[in-house]
Structure 1
Amino acid sequence: MTNKLAFLPYLRAFEAVSRLGTLRGAADELHLSPSAISLQLKKLSNITGVQLFARTGRNVTLTETGHEFYQSVSDALGTLADLVRLAVEREGEPKERSLSVSLPPSIGIAWLTAAIVEFATSRNMTSLSINQAVTCAEVDWHANDIAVVYDQPPFPGKRWELLSEVRLCAVCAPTLLGRMDLHSRDRKLHGFALLHEDGGEQWSRWSLAARVKLSDNIRVKVPSAAHAIAAAVQGKGIALLSDVVSQAHLAEGSLVRPFATTLEATNAYFLVWKVESSAAELTTALAEYLRGYLKRS
């Protein structure tokens, strides 16, 4: 079967001769000899079965059919040139790099949002979305590529990596220290609001570990550690917070630790992502970045 597109290799020579009107002009433009141009035109006529040129001395002129053919060839080559130009321009454009991250609100407010923004800026990303959830089950995996969760594995259908273990410590505003009996042998906390996210079990564990009696206290259950921090900073109670969440406030002095005792938390912070993630490369880079950020903080 004859190749219907066998004439394609000869179109550049045909277009150049048609536009310039001479074999010599086309040969110079295409860096070929006039005889090579002439041979290509002959092959083009043989393949198409159409008389495209009429000779006038050394010059060639298009026949009526050749003129119609030239218009079609010129338009087609122009379209192809435009497509190539657009493809090159698009190839040179920066690729859109987007990331959606879910964070626990407490650690997000405390420091992690700033770290994620810093990471996105350093990677020249074009779009960043930060959402919130605490546990892996609460994360909207249709809307997020990666999540930092305060939870315990396994996380079915996901990959995960430990980001930071957590120890709980009692913290309060410096203004409350004067009201505490910190030096007596029978240490007690009287009349303070105890802020917590769980059912109060962690405060009971801490009390035993610290050998501090809790009496005449109001137990205040809050929806997140962010609420506990806000109340504690304002001097409204004592919060039992993770060292990761409280470290910035301790460093600036808005919170203090009246007791040295810390308690290993039942959960830890994990970086979790989907098994088939379109952001796999970013996930690896983000995990490394956050580990370094934690060490610097």
Structure 2
Amino acid sequence: MNLPPLNSIRAFEAVARLGSVSAAAGELNVTAGAVSQQVKILQGHLGMELLARRGRHLALTVTGSQLHRRLSRAMIEIQAAIHSIQNDAPDTAVPIKLRLSLPPTPAIASPSAILGDLADCPGGLDLSIVATPFGDEIDWKSVDCAVLHGAPPWAGFHWRCLRPTQLVPVCSPELSRGASTIRGVTDLRRHRLLHEDDGSLWRDWLAGAGMALPGTQGIHFAAPAMALQAARDGLGVALVEASEARKDLQAGRLLQPLKMTLSTLSGYYLLAPAERCAETLFERLCQRLAPAAVAPCG
């Protein structure tokens, strides 16, 4: 198999994980231009776009998001293997006392799923779980690490993406019926758009579909949960995190009229203060937490 240059893989993984070319350049100790060139080499080798500009932001394409998830797992395996060889004791560890903060959201798997994956930590694990709704409310004096929704970088922290944000349009089944049925992007002009921000997310999604933001009346909400409830109530079409809408879609309370998704560099991340958590310990935690922490979208 003709693999792409390893430097190009390393550069792309760093950009996808850290959220910017400049942050990746700092970590790799090269120039931003060198990182961009390596990403272009990888894209040229694959014949696919992995990163795209969404307005002012750099976002992963669907292909880029899939590749990033697999490369993240591979990098963790490589780091764990190197650490094991260096310490000559791959299965020996002291008991770990861990205080983990989780957001109370459907996107996060149940504690039992997480506990099941962490229970096999070498040396044992003393785990405490607390719920923290918003990242800026985390009391880092009381927790060792946290899963939160946001976008890197975070100065002074180790972080690892558990799942990038996948935004999908949803509405009530009653809203997309008869003459109002949504069959294509242009049909959105007949409907009210529900926003959880200033309109940037819908603008980026529509730009990816080749259409400008419609001039129709919209409603802006202070929180994603409010936009999701408004969609259930038939007030319009919302653009929401796929995992947040999963149960409503499965139960038929909502439908996804258009299949295109918007992948962003924001998402669910595991964070730990660098001064208190050794990088090797953090990588061990990532390796065990990543497969179990975030509920599937579908």
Q: Secondary structure at the match of 1:176?
A: coil
> What is the CA–CA distance in structure 1 between the aligned matches of 2:238 and 2:194, rounded to whole Å?
5
**Structure 1 residues 127 and 160, CA gap change in structure 2 (3 angstroms):** closer
Q: Secondary structure at the match of 1:109?
A: coil
Task: Please name the residue that 2:221 is paired with.
Answer: 221
Q: Secondary structure at the match of 1:132?
A: coil
2:111 alignment partner, one of 112, 116, 119: 116
How far has the Cα of 1:163 moved from its partner?
0.8
In the alignment, residue 150 of structure 1 is paired with which amino acid? H
How far has the Cα of 1:164 moved from its partner?
0.9
Q: 1 or 2 for the larger relative contact order (CA 8 Å, sep ≥6)?
A: 2
Q: State how 1:1-297 maps to structure 2 within 5 Å.
A: 99-103=99-103, 108-112=104-108, 114-120=109-115, 123=119, 127-134=128-135, 137=136, 139-178=138-177, 180-183=180-183, 186-192=186-192, 194-211=193-210, 214-223=214-223, 225-275=224-274, 276-277=276-277, 284-285=284-285, 288-292=288-292, 294=294
In structure 1, list runs of 5 or more residues that go unmatched: 1-94
Q: Secondary structure at the match of 2:110?
A: helix
Does structure 2 conserve the Cα–Cα contact (< 8 Å) formed by 1:163 and 1:287? no
In structure 2, list runs of 5 or more residues that go unmatched: 1-94, 120-124
> What is the CA–CA distance in structure 2 between the aligned matches of 1:286 and 1:205, rounded to whole Å?
30
> What is the CA–CA distance in structure 2 between the aligned matches of 1:160 and 1:222, rounded to whole Å?
27
Does structure 1 conserve the Cα–Cα contact (< 8 Å) formed by 2:158 and 2:272? yes
In the alignment, residue 215 of structure 1 is paired with which amino acid? G
Does structure 1 conserve the Cα–Cα contact (< 8 Å) formed by 2:114 and 2:293? no
> What is the CA–CA distance in structure 1 between the aligned matches of 2:225 and 2:259, rounded to whole Å?
22
> What is the CA–CA distance in structure 1 between the aligned matches of 2:113 and 2:176, rounded to whole Å?
36
> What is the CA–CA distance in structure 2 between the aligned matches of 1:296 and 1:184, rounded to whole Å?
26
> What is the CA–CA distance in structure 2 between the aligned matches of 1:288 and 1:191, rounded to whole Å?
44
Does structure 2 conserve the Cα–Cα contact (< 8 Å) formed by 1:200 and 1:219? no
How far has the Cα of 1:191 moved from its partner?
4.3
**Structure 1 residues 289 and 252, CA gap change in structure 2 (3 angstroms):** farther
In the alignment, residue 134 of structure 2 is paired with which amino acid? A
In the alignment, residue 130 of structure 2 is paired with which amino acid? S
**Structure 1 residues 125 and 175, CA gap change in structure 2 (3 angstroms):** farther
In the alignment, residue 115 of structure 1 is paired with which amino acid? S
More helix as a share of residues: 1
**Structure 1 residues 145 and 232, CA gap change in structure 2 (3 angstroms):** farther
Taking only aligned residues, the RMSD between alpha carbons, in angstroms, comes to: 3.4
In the alignment, residue 163 of structure 2 is paired with which amino acid? S
Larger radius of gyration: 1
> What is the CA–CA distance in structure 1 between the aligned matches of 2:242 and 2:185, rounded to whole Å?
27
**Structure 1 residues 158 and 140, CA gap change in structure 2 (3 angstroms):** same
Task: Please name the residue that 1:41 is paired with.
Answer: none
Q: Secondary structure at the match of 1:245?
A: helix
In the alignment, residue 116 of structure 1 is paired with which amino acid? P
Task: Please name the residue that 1:68 is paired with.
Answer: none
> What is the CA–CA distance in structure 1 between the aligned matches of 2:184 and 2:238, rounded to whole Å?
22
How far has the Cα of 1:168 moved from its partner?
1.5
Does structure 2 conserve the Cα–Cα contact (< 8 Å) formed by 1:102 and 1:147? yes
> What is the CA–CA distance in structure 2 between the aligned matches of 1:129 and 1:283, rounded to whole Å?
21
**Percent identity among equivalent residues?**
22
> What is the CA–CA distance in structure 2 between the aligned matches of 1:233 and 1:198, rounded to whole Å?
18
Q: Secondary structure at the match of 1:110?
A: coil
How far has the Cα of 1:186 moved from its partner?
4.8
Q: Secondary structure at the match of 1:226?
A: helix
In the alignment, residue 110 of structure 2 is paired with which amino acid? A
> What is the CA–CA distance in structure 2 between the aligned matches of 1:293 and 1:100, rounded to whole Å?
11
Post-superposition Cα deviations, 1:40-75, rounded to whole Å, max 9, x if no partner, equal xxxxxxxxxxxxxxxxxxxxxxxxxxxxxxxxxxxx
